[in-house]
Structure 1
Amino acid sequence: MKTAIFGFSGSGKTDLFAALAGPAAAAAGNRAMVKVPDERLAPLIKLFSPKKVTYSEIEYLDIPGGGGKGAGLGERVLNEVRPYDCLIGVLDGFSGMNDPKQQWQAIEADMMITDLAVIEKRLEKLEADGKKNKALVDPKEEAGLRRALALLEEEKPLRADAELSALPELRGFKFLSARPILYVWNCPEGEEADQQLPEDADGMAHIAVSAKLERELAEIDDPEEKELFLTDLGITESALDKVIAKTYQLLGLISFLTAGEDECRTWPLRVGSTAPQAAGVIHTDFEKGFIRAEVIGYDDFLHYGDFKKVKEAGKARLEGKEYIVRDGDIIEFRFNV
């Protein structure tokens, strides 16, 4: 779950990274593990008073800025973000020197042009190999590349076709325009609600944030002082939780929960995963020896207030290997090692 924060020089991406990471982590380097807030743990913590509370985490990396006025991001930046699972593009809407819409369009164009060049070069190689020996060409790879080429020639990013982006034959290319991306429109303090953002699309979301304000908020340790600061500004909550939540969503993740006196915890899981795969997130032995999962829906837990009442009401379920885990499921696994 690695996410790269990138953008043009002066876009404010380092302010956003510092806000997400916190002052200490930001001072230590350009990489930080950030907890994913989840209010669903609160009633479980109240019920069990656990020795330990653990939240899912996302790793964020601050990539040095690229490009300049009227120029693209540059090859260095594009190569640095390529290995990451998700991207956050920060757009300069606060300095008055740049047009964030133009920066957004430039980033999208850079990624699509880069992918187009990779595909054309690979297709040329496949064509040459095919003339020597047809067995050297994987027809599924060639068909996938031609579909991708057609999409890019229509000026559409590869993420617009989720099925195409997920093809095993294309995974190794790490196409940039196939990556899920969150665009953060970095605007002046107090103007977040006034931003006219593009509509979200498949694998792409937009949010308006004042990165400078969020960084200042992150530097306030006292919760009461932070709340007073927000009240003075007429803001009900920090935008950071929304940034983290959108990143989590774009990564294609949900959370399941485990709870007890030792620990209450959220676990990250790919959407569509089965109960044994969820067990494997905790430990590979749990997946290998999976027998059943005792599942309590989060809404049922909230309604009845504790596990005993949920079970007495017949709302606790025993699920097998085919069960698809839902977001918020509270699970206890039965396994044999």
Structure 2
Amino acid sequence: MKTALFGFSGAGKTDLFAALAGPDATAAGNRAMIKVPDPRLDPLIALFSPKKITYSEIEYLDIPGGGGKSAGLGDRVLNEVRPYDCFIGVLDAFSGMNDPHEQWQAIEADMMITDMAVIEKRLEKLATDEKKNKALVDPKEQNALQRALATLEAEHPLRTDETLAALPELKGYKFLSARPILYVWNCPEGDETSIQLPQETAGMSHIAVSAKLERELAEIDDPEEKALFLNDLGLSQSALDKVINKTYHLLGLISFLTAGEDECRTWPVRIGSTAPQAAGVIHTDFEKGFIRAEVIGYDDFIQLGSFKAVKDAGKARLEGKEYIVQDGDIIEFRFNV
């Protein structure tokens, strides 16, 4: 679960990273592990008073540099972000010197052009190999690359065709425009709700944030003082939580919960994961020896107030290997190894 932050020089990317990293930003350098806020854990914490509380985490990397729109992001930046699962593109919507819509389109163009170059080079190699010996060429790979090239030539990022982007023949290429991305429109304080954001599409979201304000908020350690600061600004919560949660969902993740006196915890799992796969997130032995999962829906728990009440009402379910885990499920796994 790794996310890279990048953008053109002066867009405020470093302020956003410092806000994410919080008081430890200086020590974090350009890499930080950030907890994913989840208020659904609060009632479980109140019930069990656990010895330990653990939240899912996302790793963020601050990619330095980025050039200007006319020069593009640059090969170094594009190469550095390639290994990451998700991107955050930071746009300057505060200085008045740059059009954030143009920045957004320029970043999209840079990624698509880079992907096209990779595809064209590979197709040339496949064409040469095919002349030598057709057995050297995988027709499925060749077809997938040709489809991807046609998509890019039509000026559509690969992420817009989810079926195409998911093809196993394309996975190893790590195409940039196939990656989910959150565009953060870095705006002046107070303008967060007035900016007209583009419509969200598959794998792409937009949010308006004042990175400078979020950095100042993150530097306040005392929760009461932070709440007063937010109240003075007329805000109910930091926008940073929204950035983290949007990143989490763009990564294709949901959370299931476990609870007890020892620990209350959220666990990240891919959308569509089965109960054994979710058990494997906790420990590989849980998946290998999976017997069944006792599942309580989060809404049922909130409505009835306790595990005992849920069980008495017959709302606790025993699920087998085919069960698809739902966001917010409270699960206890039964296994044998």
Q: TM-score, normalised by structure 2?
A: 0.99
Matched with 2:84 is 84
Matched with 2:32 is 32
Aligned residue pair count: 337
Secondary structure, in 3 states, of the residue corresponding to 1:40?
helix
Secondary structure, in 3 states, of the residue corresponding to 1:295?
strand
Whether 1:316 aligns to 2:316 is yes
Q: Residues 279-290 of structure 1: matches in 2 within 5 Å?
A: 279-290=279-290
Aligned counterparts of 1:169 and 1:285: Cα–Cα separation in 2 = 31
Contact 1:92–1:98 (CA under 8 A) maintained in structure 2:
yes
Secondary structure, in 3 states, of the residue corresponding to 1:216?
helix
Secondary structure, in 3 states, of the residue corresponding to 2:265?
strand
Aligned counterparts of 2:254 and 2:323: Cα–Cα separation in 1 = 15
Superposed displacement of residue 230, structure 1: 1.4
CA displacement 1:133-184 (0-9 Å, x = unmatched) = 1111111111110110110011000000111111111001000000000000
* Counterpart residue type for residue 276 of structure 1: P
Contact 2:69–2:106 (CA under 8 A) maintained in structure 1:
no
Aligned counterparts of 1:304 and 1:258: Cα–Cα separation in 2 = 17
* Counterpart residue type for residue 36 of structure 2: V
Q: Residues 6-85 of structure 1: matches in 2 within 5 Å?
A: 6-85=6-85
Matched with 1:105 is 105
Matched with 1:248 is 248
Matched with 1:331 is 331
Aligned counterparts of 1:27 and 1:9: Cα–Cα separation in 2 = 22
Matched with 1:263 is 263
CA displacement 1:254-276 (0-9 Å, x = unmatched) = 00000001000000000000000
Aligned counterparts of 2:28 and 2:231: Cα–Cα separation in 1 = 31
Secondary structure, in 3 states, of the residue corresponding to 1:217?
helix
Aligned counterparts of 1:325 and 1:65: Cα–Cα separation in 2 = 40
Matched with 1:145 is 145
Secondary structure, in 3 states, of the residue corresponding to 2:144?
helix
Percent identity over the alignment is 83
Superposed displacement of residue 248, structure 1: 0.4
Q: Residues 224-239 of structure 1: matches in 2 within 5 Å?
A: 224-239=224-239
Superposed displacement of residue 235, structure 1: 1.8
Superposed displacement of residue 70, structure 1: 2.4
Superposed displacement of residue 28, structure 1: 3.2
Aligned counterparts of 1:28 and 1:88: Cα–Cα separation in 2 = 18
Aligned counterparts of 1:23 and 1:65: Cα–Cα separation in 2 = 23
Aligned counterparts of 2:300 and 2:69: Cα–Cα separation in 1 = 54
Aligned counterparts of 2:118 and 2:126: Cα–Cα separation in 1 = 12
Contact 1:26–1:32 (CA under 8 A) maintained in structure 2:
no
Superposed displacement of residue 67, structure 1: 1.4
Superposed displacement of residue 217, structure 1: 0.4
Whether 1:121 aligns to 2:107 is no
Whether 1:135 aligns to 2:128 is no
Matched with 1:93 is 93
* Counterpart residue type for residue 296 of structure 1: I
Secondary structure, in 3 states, of the residue corresponding to 2:193?
helix
Superposed displacement of residue 68, structure 1: 1.8
Aligned counterparts of 2:320 and 2:5: Cα–Cα separation in 1 = 40
- Unpaired runs of at least 5, structure 1: none
Secondary structure, in 3 states, of the residue corresponding to 1:46?
helix
Whether 1:159 aligns to 2:159 is yes
Q: TM-score, normalised by structure 1?
A: 0.99
Secondary structure, in 3 states, of the residue corresponding to 2:3?
strand
Aligned counterparts of 1:321 and 1:139: Cα–Cα separation in 2 = 35
- Cα 1:69–1:319 change in 2 (3 A) is closer
Superposed displacement of residue 246, structure 1: 0.3
Which 4+ residue blocks in structure 1 deviate beyond 3 angstroms?
Answer: 25-28
Contact 2:21–2:28 (CA under 8 A) maintained in structure 1:
no
Matched with 1:206 is 206
Superposed displacement of residue 65, structure 1: 2.1
Aligned counterparts of 2:263 and 2:304: Cα–Cα separation in 1 = 21
* Counterpart residue type for residue 215 of structure 2: R
- Cα 1:69–1:168 change in 2 (3 A) is closer
Contact 1:17–1:26 (CA under 8 A) maintained in structure 2:
no
Comparing 77-86 with 96-105, which one deviates more in the overlay? 96-105
CA displacement 1:270-315 (0-9 Å, x = unmatched) = 0000000000000001100000000000011111111111111111
* Counterpart residue type for residue 125 of structure 2: K
Contact 2:21–2:32 (CA under 8 A) maintained in structure 1:
yes
Contact 1:257–1:329 (CA under 8 A) maintained in structure 2:
yes
- Cα 1:3–1:116 change in 2 (3 A) is same
* Counterpart residue type for residue 225 of structure 1: E
Superposed displacement of residue 69, structure 1: 4.8
